[in-house]
Amino acid sequence: MSQFLQAPQPQYLAVANELMEDILAGRLAVGDHLPPEPELVRKYKLSRYGVRLAIKALIDLGLVSRQQGIGTRVLSNQTRARYNQTIAGLDDIARYAQETNFRILSKGLLSSDEARVPLVSAGAEKWLHIAGLRTTQGRGLPISLADIYVSPKYARLPKLGATLNVPVHALIERQYGVRVTRVDQDIQGALVSKDEARLLDVDPGAAALRIVRTYYVAEEVIEVTLSVHPSERYSYKQTFELEGR
């Protein structure tokens, strides 16, 4: 019996264990599809709800993915942990960018009314919008979708390639000789939309963290970012140092 899911346990976990052993042993190879739900129900004498719980356990371990109309496919023969991000300052945001891959999906100019988050109005000028998918370096697992909005005043950045391994605020600092003085952060629980689910390879309606960061130089907003992180693949840790204690 695997060390990850140990007896005694509900029946659906016993089924998850058996399927997991098949994946780890190579009897179900990466890219293979699991049998459809009705077949699993008959084989294991389990309810459809129980089968779905078993598959969810495998999804949480990073072994399989499930998409409506396609079925459940083996993603990996190794279990995974979440990506854990620890934030104590801007240096940690830079480290996060270096430890992951950010693939640019689209870029262009948008008015503040077209943005997915509230932006400081800049009259008729348009903000630079960069949309991208961030993945882990090893197996390329999607850990977030990001929308990055750069103030019109700072929108002329060096030519961007297909990927980014530095934060956009750092590009702004280098290009314009400014220094970020404050970052406001808003973290909310959210549900993954249908369009987001397709790119993140999770089920629509899956739990997620929605993080909005606003970057300032003095009192001027230079950048706003929105990122959506599936909860099963990402955790966030913040450290506070208290002076005088």
What is the DSSP pairing of strand 71-74 with strand 64-67? antiparallel
Domain map (residue ranges) of the chain = 11-74, 83-238
The verdict on pTM exceeding 0.85 is no
> How far is the C-alpha of 55 from the C-alpha of 44, rounded, in Å?
13
Task: Please report where in the chains the tokens 């089968």 appear, as a residue.
Answer: 51
Residue 31 is which amino acid? G
Is 90:72 a contact under the CB 8 Å cutoff?
no
CA atoms within 13 A on the CB side of 83: 24
Please give the CATH topology (third level) of the domain spanning 11-74.
Answer: Arc Repressor Mutant, subunit A (1.10.10)
Is 226:146 a contact under the CB 8 Å cutoff?
yes
Is 127:155 a contact under the CB 8 Å cutoff?
yes
pLDDT in tens, the chain (245 residues): 344 443 345 688 788 888 988 988 889 999 999 999 999 999 999 999 989 988 887 887 778 888 888 889 998 887 665 566 666 677 777 777 777 889 999 999 999 888 999 888 666 789 999 999 998 765 567 899 999 999 999 999 988 888 888 899 999 999 999 999 999 999 999 999 999 999 998 888 989 999 999 999 999 999 999 999 998 888 777 776 666 65
- What pLDDT was estimated at residue 8? 41
Tell the burial category of 210 from Cβ atoms under 10 Å away from its Cβ (0-12, 13-18, 19+): middle
> How far is the C-alpha of 114 from the C-alpha of 117, rounded, in Å?
9
- What pLDDT was estimated at residue 124? 72
Q: Which CATH superfamily is domain 83-238 in?
A: Chorismate lyase-like (3.40.1410.10)
Task: Please report where in the chains the tokens 């932006």 appear, as a residue.
Answer: 119
- What pLDDT was estimated at residue 6? 38
- What pLDDT was estimated at residue 174? 93
Which residues in 27-99 belong to E strands, given as ranges? 64-67, 71-74, 83-87
Residue 5 is which amino acid? L
